[in-house]
Amino acid sequence: MLSMFNLPSPLEKIEWSVALDHGIEVWMKRDDQIHHVISGNKWRKLKYSVKEVRDKKYDGLLTFGGAFSNHIAATAHAGRVHGISTIGIIRGEEADRANPTLTKALKDGMQLVPISREEYARKELEGFLEQLQAQYPGYLIVPEGGANRNGVLGCMEILTEVQLDFDVIACPLGTSTTFSGIVASAGATAEVLGFPALKGGGYLRAHVNNFLEELKSTPKQLSTFSPTQNWKLIEDYHFGGFAKMKEPLVRFMNAFWKETGIPLDPVYTAKMMFGLDEMIRKGHFKNGTKLLTLHTGGLQGIAGMNKKLKNKNYNIEYEDKI
């Protein structure tokens, strides 16, 4: 089932002058290279839901997302690769079907159902899901961003592919599913730092704790469950909010790419690496620290982001090179 996926994903030591100057050894787990479309944590999070659809013979998989969602792109393509039907409930009636993410999702055979923002906001409420399930019986409903237990289980496999010991592990957060998987499997000694991509991301702490509780009460013991208590969220690097693209961030991305050859995504990993850059400069990490960073993918969104930047005097320079 996994034959065309590049797993385990590469683990690379990066040549990054800021880190070298401060005696910090930085490695990057390149989950962006798992697959050219279903990249990064999106495949990790979908894997067990795709498996459930096939094992339990559901008619397909139904999920949610915004018009530029990496999760929508990944689900559509995973559906095509694994021969399962997919439905995407897309936020906003104005959802522009011509944007690169949705065009590709349609091509991958996803049925797109645009709903209003008001209706979309109701999706967490009781009743909405029942109604949707009644409308699409036989479909496995996966929450926005793949934020469920299956998602965390998939992300708990990331560190099983890493044989080295690290002092600190850094991971970006959207829904916190990936971060929860890392915290749940990091082992007692590692410190795990999370970088929310949205403003006021502190509320995600409760989500992480809920996921950890859910795993603790899992009926069968999970061999990968080895949580660390030593985790925290660094909330200073949201750049004004989710998917906000400020000029210093774009300039940082272009410079990082030129120096290391690694393309970062604008919504998540760029904010994390920008934050780490600043923390390293300020002496946050002691000399000799071994730091593992997780590249969660998301590169498919760059074309759409550059479209939004077309009236500015800066853009992401590597759109055509990835």
Ligand X SMILES: *Cc1c(COP(=O)(O)O)cnc(C)c1O
Cβ neighbours for 1, distance < 8 A, ≥ 6 positions apart: 51, 82
Task: Annotate each residue in 25-64 with x if it binds ligand X (CB under 6 A) or - if it does not, as one string.
Answer: ---------------xxx----------------------
Nearest Cα neighbor of 165 from 289, 64, 261 is 289
Q: Please, which residue, 28 or 173, has the CB nearer to ligand X? A: 173
Question: By CB under 6 A, how many residues form the interface with ligand X?
Answer: 21
Cβ neighbours for 11, distance < 8 A, ≥ 6 positions apart: 27, 28, 29, 30, 161, 162, 164
Q: Please, which residue, 114 or 194, has the CB nearer to ligand X? A: 194
249: left (phi over 0), alpha (psi -120 to 50) or beta: alpha
Output the CA angle 282-286-288, nearest 5 degrees: 130
Tell me: does residue 75 bind ligand X (CB under 6 A). Answer: no
Tell me: does residue 79 bind ligand X (CB under 6 A). Answer: no
Q: Please, which residue, 85 or 150, has the CB nearer to ligand X? A: 150
Residue among 88, 114, 145, 263 that touches ligand X (CB under 6 A): 145
The interface with ligand X within residues 173-192 (CB under 6 A) comprises 173-179
State the chain's maximal CA–CA distance in angstroms. Answer: 59
State in angstroms the smallest separation of the CB of 313 from ligand X. Answer: 26
Q: Please, which residue, 136 or 264, has the CB nearer to ligand X? A: 264
The interface with ligand X within residues 216-275 (CB under 6 A) comprises 265, 268-269
State in angstroms the smallest separation of the CB of 275 from ligand X. Answer: 14
Stretch in the footprint of ligand X (CB under 6 A) among 170-178, 216-224, 247-255, 274-282: 170-178
Here the tokens at position 69 are 């969602």
State in angstroms the smallest separation of the CB of 49 from ligand X. Answer: 13
Here the tokens at position 188 are 């007692």
**DSSP letter for each residue of 72-139:** HHHHHHHHHHHT-EEEEEEE-TT--TTSHHHHHHHHTTPEEEEE-HHHHHGGGSTTHHHHHHHHSTTE
Stretch in the footprint of ligand X (CB under 6 A) among 54-62, 161-169, 280-288, 293-301: 293-301
Tell me: does residue 172 bind ligand X (CB under 6 A). Answer: yes
Distances (CA, A) of 315 to 32, 63, 192, 235, 291: 21, 31, 31, 25, 29
Q: Which residues bind ligand X (CB under 6 A)?
A: 40-42, 70-71, 145, 147, 172-179, 265, 268-269, 296-298
